[in-house]
Chains A and B, each alone.
Chain A
Amino acid sequence: MTENSAKDGAYNYAYLDEQTKRMIRRAILKAVAVPGYQVPFGGREMPLPYGWGTGGIQVTAAIIGRDDTLKVIDQGADDTTNAVSIRRFFARVAEVATTTRTEEATVIQTRHRVPETPLSEGQILVFQVPIPEPLRMLEPRETETRTLHALSEYGVMQVSLYESIARHGRISKAYNYPVMVNGRYIMSPSPIPKFDNPKLDRSPALQLYGAGREKRIYAVPPYTPVKSLDFDDHPFEIETWEQCCELCGSKESFLDEMIVDDDGKRLFVCSDSDYCERRRAPAEAAE
Chain B
Amino acid sequence: MSRRPEHQAPPELFYNEEEARKYTQNSRIIDIQAQMTERCIELLLLPEDTPCLLLDIGCGSGLSGTVLEENGHMWIGMDISQAMLDVAIEREIEGDVVLSDMGEGVPFRPGSFDGAVSVSALQWLFNADKKSHHPVKRLYTFFSTLYAALSRSARAVFQFYPENESQLNLLTSQAMKAGFYGGVVVDFPNSAKAKKFFLVLMTGGAAPLPKALGTEEEDNSLEIKYARREASKKLRGKPLKNTKAWLLEKKERRRKQGKETKPDTKYTGRKRSGRF
* Chain A bound to chain B: no
Interface of B with A (CB < 8 Å)? Answer: none
